[in-house]
Structure 1
Amino acid sequence: MKKVNGHEIIALFEKWSPKRFAMDGDPVGLHIGQLNRTVENVLVTLDVNEEVIDEAIRKGANLIIAHHPPIFRPLKSLLTDTPQGSMIEKCIKNDIAVYAAHTNLDIAPGGVNDMLAEKLGLVDTKIVESTHSESLYKLVVFSPATHADDIRQTLEKAGAGAIGDYVGCSFSASGIGRFTPVEGAEPFIGEMGKSEAVEEERIEVVVPGPIRSKVLKAMLEVHPYEEPAYDLVVLDQQSTDYGLGRVGKLLEKTTLGQFAELVKKAFDVPALRFVGDPNKQIRKVAVLGGDGNKYIGAAKRSGADVLVTGDLYYHVAHDAEAMGIAVIDPGHNIEKVMIQGVADYMQAACAQASYNVLFIESEIVTEPFTFI
């Protein structure tokens, strides 16, 4: 196991939850401090407050990964006698960096909304509201047969050739490549001015748009030819859609009242609100962490019988009632599922990368409301 710095940890995290997934204007990324330090302990939390920072100090964590950004709006000044300024000062004095993954972690496959859906026991889940799709490319490269395996392995390591639950997918066909080196060339195979015929393989792989530059760079670094021949073609089909919320089915039908009790237990909340007839039959469920007021219509269009979300407004509740979709509001704090989820995912990912780092789940309760 090797020592690791903050940059390496966050690079691994962003393979799972890249910043490009975030909604426009969402301030994700590094908020406080720097990543160019060795990190032994990482604290994972839903929110960042002074209690959480004190916990990080006690537990020797010099990196915090949070879901909710501690600096949501740009600061015009940094006054250390204010609650926010004091919190930032304490982080800086104790060499604690704070990184926020907000809507990018909501949207990421396996992220917050998938964690919530899993807690509710939903199956056959799909996205509630698509936010974007990414172009898919086909890379065709011609290689001497002697180097084809090396090129295929390099492409796979760079992320090419992943289709659904399969990796390392490629197609090859054998043929003859012909070329003539002329003045100025430094050929790997052949002689100046002499036509050559070489046994070659045509290798085809799919490449997600966001990593095409990385894949091309990796391929060119291992390709033996001075001027490799390759094509990069945009495909009509799209790669996986990304978006907010998840909708799926319960294994068995239940009533809204019974399902509300299940939600309360699943998310360990002392109380919740719901809109709708408690005797209504429920089978298809949408869930969206955080404030889901804007997505009542999307949940209805998804065919959901009920939407589980937080921070429900009074007038939006009336709108949902008129639409005929039930809504259960267990609060914003149910996103705390990300604490264990992120810690477990990153611990496993870092172990696979041989990084010597420990991920610690925050024990600070950041629910601001008291229920009576």
Structure 2
Amino acid sequence: MSAVTVKDLVEAMDALAPPSLAEDWDPIGLSFGSLDKEVSKVMIALDVDNNTIQEAIDEKVDLMITHHPAIFKPLKTLNSQDPRRLDYINLIKSDIAVYSAHTNLDAAESGMNDWLADSIGMSQSERTIVSLNKTEGYKKLAVYVPDYAAEKVRKALHEAGAGEVGDYKDVSYTLEGQGRFTPQEGSDPTDGEIGREELTHEQRIEMLVKDKWVYRVIDALKAAHPYEEPVFDLLTLENQTDSYGFGRVGTIEKPKSTEEMAHLIQSLFHIDGVRYGATSKMPHKTAAIFGGSGAKYYKDALKKGATLFITGDVSYHDGQDMLRDGIEFIDAGHYIESICVPELFAYFNRQKEEHNWSVDIIESKTQKDVFTYLR
């Protein structure tokens, strides 16, 4: 069993939350440590703060995987005169790597906002994005392969990422036919002779390829294909795109009033206090949830039929604007994003089993909301 490195875990994180989905201002990625560092223990946390850092030190953790990045603002110095800089010094002294997936995890399919939507009973089949971030297109790849190499090429393309369609992997279509070619002087044909027409029984293998995987897939094709000059078509598809973005809006399977939903959220996330604004007791059939600070996006949710908007960090004037425009709201706080801890814990344990990794994965136990409420 080979050693597990930071790079292995980063690749797994990037598969779930591609860095290309992050906002330009967002300092995601590896903020401390080396990709080559061997990892025996990983801790999942929402934040990199003095509590989770000390916990990581006590637990002899090699890598912290967090949602919120450690360093949001550039540093001019790195000394112990400031408590935050002291946190960073302690991380470095303890040789703890830190990797963060923030707005890319928010925007990802089956990421932060889908986890939140699932938690409040939002239908998966009747759900859309509140604020669109990015779209990614597809190509259709068609390659001609002799029968004896078809399975090898097909497998190589799938391993490089081709053939992913929605919730399905390894999707392809095959046609059989005959290929003709005449090798010329200077060529080095796998099959056939110089100057003589060759007739070969071939398969035409077709697959969809996401734009982001095209170069990787073509490299895999050329490496696996037996011909000196593989013949393939690559067509841009106008009818196939993937959309990514922040927040989710959709049908609530068991409609609830704003007050009822607030109680549910308080219970689900073990929050001491939840603020809400409501003008009625009506049950909401369509609601939106937006992890983090999403108040400025409420109009996008309103346009998509939401009568309730759930997010964090709602200001007094935000609340006024929402009620004035006819949408009720719940300020559930930023800490609801702590849902990422058990979800990422489960995800990385699945990766551990799939890749046969020898690594311990733990959830932070010291992470807590910064707010305390009087009762």
- Same fold by TM-score, threshold 0.5 exceeded? yes
Mapped contact 1:47–1:366 kept (Cα < 8 A): no
Alignment partner of 1:21 is 2:21: yes
Q: Is the partner of 1:133 in helix, strand or coil?
A: strand
Name the counterpart of 1:143. Answer: 145
Q: CA offsets per residue over residues 296-339 of structure 1, 9 Å max, x none?
A: 11111121110110000121111101110011001111101101
Are the aligned partners of 1:46 and 1:366 in contact in 2 as well (CA < 8 Å)?
Answer: no
Larger deviation, residues 361-370 vs 13-22: 361-370
CA RMSD of aligned residues (A): 1.3
Cα deviation digits, residues 72-99 of structure 1 (max 9, x gap): 1122222232112111111111110111
Question: Which residue does the alignment assign to 2:115?
Answer: 115
AA paired with 1:354? N
2:32 partner amino acid: I
Q: By how many angstroms is 1:3 displaced?
A: 2.2
Distance in 1 (alpha carbons) for counterparts of 2:354 and 2:2: 12
Q: Equivalent residue of 1:207, what SS?
A: strand
Amino acid at match of 1:192: I
Q: Tell me the SS of whatever aligns to 1:340.
A: helix
1:223-257 deviation per Cα after TM superposition (whole angstroms, max 9, x unaligned): 00000011111110232211111112222233222
* Aligned residue in 2 for 1:204: 206
- Mapped to 1, the partners of 2:186 and 2:83 lie a distance apart of 67
CA contact (8 A) 2:287 2:308 kept: yes
Question: Structure 2 matches for 1:50-69, cutoff 5 A?
Answer: 50-69=50-69
Q: 1:161 aligns with which of 160, 163, 167?
A: 163
Superposed counterparts of 1:45-194, under 5 Å: 45-123=45-123, 124-194=126-196
Matched residue type, 1:164: G
User: Structure 2 residue aligned with 1:311, among 285, 310, 313?
Assistant: 313
Q: Give, in whole Å, the separation in 2 of the partners of 1:170 and 1:32.
A: 41
- Residue identity in the other structure for 1:25: W
Contact 2:66 2:101 in 1 (8 A): yes
2:137/2:242 contact within 8 Å kept = no
Q: Deviations over 1:279-306 (max 9, x none)?
A: 1331211101100122111111121110
State yes or no: 1:242 paired with 2:244: yes
- 1:159–1:207: 8 Å Cα contact kept in structure 2? yes
- The normalised TM-score by structure 1 is 0.97
2:85 aligned counterpart, secondary structure? helix
Verify the 8 A CA contact 2:46 2:367 in the aligned structure 1: no
Question: Which of 290, 293, 296 is residue 291 of structure 1 equivalent to?
Answer: 293
User: TM-score, structure 2 length as denominator?
Assistant: 0.96
Sequence identity, in percent?
38
Q: Which runs of 5+ in 1 are unaligned?
A: none
Deviates more, 1:337-346 or 1:266-275: 266-275
Distance in 2, Cα, partners of 1:90 & 1:364: 17
Matched with 1:324 is 326
- Secondary structure of the 2:234 match is strand
CA distance in 1, matches of 2:31, 2:344: 18
**CA deviation after TM superposition for structure 1 residue 347, in Å:** 1.2
Per-residue deviation, 1:34:
1.5
User: How far is 1:278 from its partner?
Assistant: 4.4
Aligned residues: 372
Residue 257 of structure 2, aligned match among 237, 255, 258: 255
1:38-67 Cα offsets, whole Å, 9 max, x none, are 101111111111221111111121100111
SS at match of 1:271: coil
Conserved? CA contact 1:9–1:350, under 8 Å: no
Whether 1:356 and 2:358 are equivalent positions in the alignment is: yes
